Amino acid sequence: MQINWQKEVEQRKEQLIKDTQRLLQIKSTLDEETATEEIPFGKGIKEALDFMLDLGEKDGFSVKNVDNYGAHLEMGHGEELIGILGHLDVVPEGEGWTTDPYSADIRDGRIYARGAMDDKGPTMAAYYAMKIVKDLGVDVNKRVRLILGTDEESDWRCMDHYFEKEETPTVGFVPDADFPIIYAEKGIADFTYEFNGSVHEGAEATLLSFSAGQRFNMVPEFAEAVVTSDSVEAGQWEERYSRYCEDHGLSGTFSAKEGTVTFTMDGISVHGMEPDLGVNAGLRLAEFLVTLPFIGDDKRFLSFISQFCKESRGRELGVAYSDDITKDLTINYGILSYEHGGKGKIAFNMRYPVTFDFANGWSVLEKVASDHGFSIQMKTHLGPHHVDADSDLVKTLQKIYEEHTGQEAELLAIGGGTYARAIKNAVAFGPLFPGREDVAHQKDEYIIIEDMLKATAMYAQAIYDLTR
């Protein structure tokens, strides 16, 4: 049976765009304030989940809500289960958007919204791929299930709960990364270095507070520190800070009021899988502050950052590593916070190669903590993922990619974590085409409509070919 997949997508283009916009207009960030036992991740995420379940039911799919942790839409028959895994939660919108982050405006052939690329747009593309195959009435001798996650951007509690209740697909793909095919993913672990402060009197400068970042996996785009001093004139600090920002090409502000001075620093937020593509506002502000005359815990907090957190490859921490499959270990310092006489925290996200000895790395990080008066906690850990390059899944998707693009389907390895690692035999498959800007987690996030349509056609063919 010869099917023009691109033509089938074009026939449904307007409705695909409209449904994508409707989904993107739902603010589905993790919301602890509205979270309950029945709604574990808050009202916005529940609304997005209900939207997809209602859409699937209307279009004739078998639908199931798994305790509002996740859900699936299913078609086909047979013992073997093919999984397509997408997620409906998004990271916080951040500042500096040209338009409302949830307006889903269309400009210059792009849909702009938080989640447009990561991962609501691609999830809707996968949904329409299933819909096309279903509408065509072709024989599907395997079950195909679109699995909808709701906590991918945080702790993956959705997948843990879902697969406790539901069967695991035997094969699958994830529309939440790059084309051509990602067959290997680094391990991912979140840690915090913590200490309890104590009050130290008599210092020339006191660090009242320091804050930067919201998420382990995002480079902080803004940092603020409030400092008090009895003996150093604010004007001297202002001049030094202005010179520091100018020398390093940074943007920061300085203000003095009633015995306190406030420093702010602007950075560039990017996904934490490659921190060097952004500018960490917290690290750069700490780099300046450590030159001020602090003592005690104030000094210890800033000095630890300056000594051990100044680069992204873990060299100073003693965990630097690289292999030929997934390249360098990376560390993103996503949250830095401190209160004088209270608690300090450095929260970081580590992404390590598939051949890295994690147990040994953990021991090294523990020793650094104990040697410098800190404690360390591991918050989350996802092991690395690697699929055989010669598997039927990989070969099938390579063929599809090459047919639709005319380009070689190179196999990729990434530092990002996708739902592919939830299934032993699964890979990430798009939607970002080579040469396109990666705007996930950034302001003015968008998806190119032309690319979304092409991805939909490729996903439809993947469903068809994998069910033969």
* Cβ–Cβ under 8 Å, residues 30 and 42: yes
Q: Are strands 70-76 and 143-149 parallel, antiparallel or unpaired?
A: antiparallel
Which pLDDT band holds residue 202 (cuts at 50, 70, 90)? low
What domains can you pick out in the chain, each with its CATH number?
Answer: 5-186+385-466 (3.40.630.10), 188-382 (3.30.70.360)
pLDDT at 341: 80
329, pLDDT greater than 90: yes
pLDDT in tens, 427-439: 999 999 999 999 9
* Cβ–Cβ under 8 Å, residues 333 and 346: yes
**Close Cβ partners of 127 (under 8 Å, ≥ 6 residues apart):** 19, 52, 55, 56, 73, 146
pLDDT at 71: 98
201, pLDDT greater than 90: no
Mean pLDDT score, 321-336:
95
Which pLDDT band holds residue 415 (cuts at 50, 70, 90)? confident
The tokens of 206 are what?
């006191």
Mean pLDDT score, 402-419:
92
pLDDT in tens, 150-188: 999 988 899 999 999 999 999 999 999 999 999 999 999
Selection from 112, 131, 122 nearest residue 149 by Cα:
122
8-state DSSP, 370: H
Mean pLDDT score, 190-202:
77
- Alpha-carbon gap, residue 422 to 418, rounded angstroms: 8
Q: What are phi and psi of 121, to 5 degrees?
A: -60, -50
* Sign of torsion over alpha carbons 199, 204, 208, 210: negative
- Alpha-carbon gap, residue 4 to 132, rounded angstroms: 11
The tokens of 392 are what?
């039927």
- Alpha-carbon gap, residue 197 to 301, rounded angstroms: 9
From first CA to last CA, the distance across the chain in angstroms is 11
260, pLDDT greater than 80: yes
Hey, which residues does 266 pair with through a beta bridge? 222, 251
Amino acid, single-letter form, for residue 435: G
Selection from 270, 236, 271 nearest residue 254 by Cα:
236
pLDDT at 121: 98
Tokens 């529940």 sit on residue = 46
Mean pLDDT score, 10-20:
98
pLDDT in tens, 267-321: 999 989 899 999 999 999 999 999 998 988 999 999 999 999 999 999 999 999 9
**Close Cβ partners of 446 (under 8 Å, ≥ 6 residues apart):** 110, 111, 112, 113, 116, 117, 439
Catalytic residues: 89, 152
1, pLDDT greater than 80: no
The radius of gyration computed from the CA coordinates of the chain, to the nearest angstrom, equals 24
* Cβ–Cβ under 8 Å, residues 452 and 121: yes
pLDDT in tens, 115-164: 999 999 999 999 999 999 999 999 889 999 999 999 999 888 999 999 99
pLDDT at 231: 58
199, pLDDT greater than 70: no
CA 345 vs CA 134, 195, 211, 322: distances in Å = 51, 7, 10, 27
Indicate the helix (H) or strand (E) that contains 461. Answer: helix 449-466
Cβ atoms < 10 Å from Cβ of 19: 18
pLDDT at 230: 64
Q: In angstroms, how far is CA 235 from the centroid of its own chain? A: 41
Hey, which residues does 72 pair with through a beta bridge? 64, 147
Selection from 401, 448, 329 nearest residue 183 by Cα:
401
Q: Where are the alpha helices (DSSP H) in 155-274?
A: 157-165, 234-248
Which pLDDT band holds residue 234 (cuts at 50, 70, 90)? confident
Phi-psi region of 315 (alpha: psi -120 to 50; beta: other; left: phi over 0): alpha
- Alpha-carbon gap, residue 312 to 332, rounded angstroms: 6
213, pLDDT greater than 70: yes
Q: Are strands 143-149 and 81-87 parallel, antiparallel or unpaired?
A: parallel
Tokens 């390895």 sit on residue = 413
